[in-house]
Amino acid sequence: MTKSRTINAQTELYGIIGKPVGHSLSPVMHNAAFEHLGMNAVYLAFETDDTDAASRAMRCLGIRGYSVTIPNKESIIRYLDEPDDTVIKIGACNTVRNRDGRLQGTNTDWIGAIKALERITSLAGKRAVVLGAGGSARAIIYGLIRSGVHVTVCNRTIEKAQRLSEEFGCTPLALEEAERLSGHILINTTSVGMGKLQDDSPLSKKGVENYDIVMDIVYAPLETKLLGYASSLGKKVVNGLEMLLLQATAQFEFWTGQPAPEQVMKKALEDAVRQSN
């Protein structure tokens, strides 16, 4: 049963920092978790791209935890007292906790992606093609490599794919090459499929035929054109909502030390998406 809570002087404050953040579903998930567990805590959205001020505010006001989103995932790192290995290797931080004024950072994006995939397949020895070479791609490739996956990264700017491949030990190719490739897993980390590109797909339906599992980190719309192709071909699909949920449960546990109420957070997330459509 959901427990009621009261906001008072002892309420712990958490939030997301980014710009924009008005669309963020993180407050829905984390507040549902706090309320379900009867925790005296609240999670708010802070629209800012000033990570210096945000980090000082965290220390000054005793804010317990931040989710960090675009454009702050890289710039926040210089203000961390203790970035962990994932932050250093990925070069991005999406989660910060305040321990007595010391800011500790980690990255849970890769955890969300890998857990989502592991729920439908084993990963060791598999071959994956990742579309895009931005921050999300870096986190996912980090997780895939440490899970024993051979990764090919395809990007519009081949030089960016080459730099990423040198760091992580994967194979770089131009984005158009993805049409002729094959593998166990295809992952789209580009913006194709959302916003003004909602009616587009990074691969043709014929290109999608070459994969067993198709994952898209875009969650609005929930079924992108790419995932629509995959579903029509009988492929296993992983939508962006699953990764969003599982990176958030990892954040919750990093902040609180408690198991996250995943099903509660999932229901809150799905209800919010349903209401927005």
- Which residues are the active-site residues? 73
Q: Which amino acid, one-letter code, is at 79?
A: Y
Q: CB neighbours (10 Å) of residue 170?
A: 21
* Residue 62 · residue 39 · CB < 8 Å: no
In the sheet that holds 41-47, the strands lie side by side as 41-47, 12-18, 65-68, 95-99, 102-106, 82-83
Rounded to whole angstroms, the Cα distance separating 50 from 40 reads 28
Reported in sequence order, the residue ranges of the chain that DSSP labels E, i.e. its strands, are: 12-18, 41-47, 65-68, 82-83, 95-99, 102-106, 127-131, 150-155, 171-174, 183-188, 211-216, 236-238
Q: What is the edge-to-edge ordering of all strands in the sheet holding 211-216?
A: 171-174, 150-155, 127-131, 183-188, 211-216, 236-238
Q: What is the CA radius of gyration of the chain?
A: 19
Structure tokens, 59: 């220390």
Q: Is 211 left (phi over 0), alpha (psi -120 to 50) or beta?
A: beta
Measured between alpha carbons, how far is 187 from 129 in angstroms, rounded to an integer? 6
